[in-house]
Amino acid sequence: MEKIVVLKFVILFSFSSAYILMDDDLTTDALVLPSEYYLKAEMIDLISNLKEPIELWYSAEYNRSRIDVSGGMVQRYYYWAEFDTSGNEGQVYTISPKTTETEKNVMQCYKKNISEEEQNHDAFPVEGGYVYAGNQQHEGRQVDVWQETDEYDDTREENIMYTYKGARGVDVPVQIVKKTFNTFKGTMTLHVIYNYFSYEPLICYKDLDADEDLCDVANEDLHGTLQVLHPAIRGDVDIAFESFKKRHNRKYRSQAEHEKRKKIFQKNWQLVVDHNSKNLGYKLAMNHLSDLSTEELRLRHGARASPHPAGSIPFPHSEAEVNQIVTHLPKEYDMRMEGFITPIKNQGSCGSCWSFATVAAVEGALARLDGRLRDLSEQTLIDCSWGDAVVSNQGCEGGFPSRSLRYVMKHGLPLEEGYGGYKAQNGYCHTENATEVFKIRGFALATPMSVNAMKVALYKYGPVTVLLQANDAFSFYSSGIFYDPTCDDSGINHAVTIVGYGTRDGDDYWIVKNSYGEQWGGGFMLYSTNDDKCRILSEPYYPVV
């Protein structure tokens, strides 16, 4: 965490022409940071319950800094103002252990270039940053208090720094308290405390030299990078965000857009870290959606609940029959193993989840009928199923699985190869060009809110298209049995396809096929059957072929 602090100091001395730190500037209300120091510190994340011991080295003259985490288990060296023709402003060397099948805890080093746009100016004061707010007693010492606030979008940041006057009037940090709030939700998203001690005004320059013989690899492994970094450390955010951009080939239109995306990335990363620290039975992970805001993620949730849920064909089993049938079903059933499920697809930025969930169910039903796995066209539903009051979907703006199934009854679906590839946007309907079209005889609504009815529908007729409420945690699902009791009354917003069921360590789950690509949990989710807070059993439809 203190790496941020070091990084901040480095940036101040290297790049801020408007704010110059001088050891002989003794003005009380002007912050005067040391130009060289060694500090021991600790970072306490009160949300994720993480506490890390940290050591810091910095030299303005040498223009380098270093941060050691957890007794030197992870070491980071920052070399600044080493310009080259690529426009890089410096490098960071990260040394950490790795264990393989043949080696245990061998130290490795990753080198990364850091460009000017990745510099971060919010951990320590620059012009327009911290302002003097008086003095007070702090843990038995008279200290100066400095405050900094920043507001953007629905976010408010509040930082307080406590310092004492050292030799030659420099302000030596004692503690920084950093808080970030979501003002729209009224929630705190970051609460971190940095405690600093063992301050030394002089260092040995050799302590700032990385073992460059180790550092001959550029780390492109985003998830490996995140394992040794933390979202509450601004310097770590710079490194992680660079890995994310390279991994997903992100290029932003402006510096402002870049900074906006980095803040969103940090917020989502903090969500992932906080969740995973609670050991709730499923894990989250950063993925290709990590630079998207909550509002942008919602645009992908285009499913709508039917005002009057019903199938064109009645569900053929009474509650008593369902309870009898389920006693003879296998404990686990996975249609992927039967060869009935097409590969994972990606809906992109279009709110077309309803189309993908419908098509996946139709593809599976047809495969169960004749053993032939077909890749049908989601784009057809987006382009052509706007229809009348009976159909009335709205392309990338959302749709209804029930009305989509009714469209397939009436008009059928062509192969994607015959209709044309998925565009992630609304397009002209041109089904007249398709030579092979597949219809269904109808569709049924399995008994809502019934786990047993869902299992019967899956085993005898499935796959089953369902609707649910998807939140931010859903967007970053990685592994385990997903169970989220925080779903609220904001309503259903996403459609997926259930392709099986199973049990693990006594916990039952549905196997859910999503449309976010394979980078999202491998494309599939294990979704708890317990206490349907997110309403996955509210509208379970399956095609009849």
Q: Which residues are catalytic?
A: 353, 494, 514
- Peptide bond connecting 463 to the previous residue in cis, omega within 30 degrees of 0: yes
Q: Which residues pair with 146 in a beta bridge?
A: 132, 161
Q: Please tell me the distance from the alpha carbon of residue 37 to that of residue 202, in angstroms, as a whole number.
A: 5
Q: In 3D, which of 194, 273, 196, 201 has the Cα closest to residue 231?
A: 273
- Phi/psi of residue 237, each to 5°? -60, -40
Q: Please tell me the distance from the alpha carbon of residue 251 to that of residue 242, in angstroms, as a whole number.
A: 11
CB-CB contact of 309 with 445 (8 Å): yes
Report DSSP letters for 80-129, one per residue: ES---TT-EEEEEEEEEEE--SS-SSEEEEEEEEEEGGG---SSS--TTS
Q: Please tell me the distance from the alpha carbon of residue 255 to that of residue 243, in angstroms, as a whole number.
A: 17
Q: In 3D, which of 102, 32, 27, 39 has the Cα closest to residue 65?
A: 39
Residue 206 makes CB contacts below 8 A (sequence gap 6+) with none
The sign of the CA dihedral 44, 48, 49, 52 is negative
Q: Please tell me the distance from the alpha carbon of residue 388 to that of residue 401, in angstroms, as a whole number.
A: 15
Q: Please tell me the distance from the alpha carbon of residue 139 to that of residue 120, in angstroms, as a whole number.
A: 30
Q: Within its chain, how far is the Cα of 245 from the centroid? A: 13
Nearest-Å Rg of the Cα atoms of the chain is: 28
Question: Both tokens of residue 402?
Answer: 């029930």
Q: Any idea what DSSP says for residue 523?
A: G
Which helix or strand (DSSP H or E) is residue 149 part of? Answer: strand 141-152
- Phi/psi of residue 157, each to 5°? -110, 135
Q: In 3D, which of 402, 447, 405, 450 has the Cα closest to residue 306?
A: 402
Q: Where are the alpha helices (DSSP H) in 254-400?
A: 255-276, 294-299, 319-326, 353-370, 378-384
Q: Any idea what DSSP says for residue 425?
A: S
For the beta carbon of residue 288, count every other beta carbon within 10 angstroms: 17
Q: Please tell me the distance from the alpha carbon of residue 75 to that of residue 70, in angstroms, as a whole number.
A: 9
Q: Please tell me the distance from the alpha carbon of residue 172 to that of residue 166, in angstroms, as a whole number.
A: 6
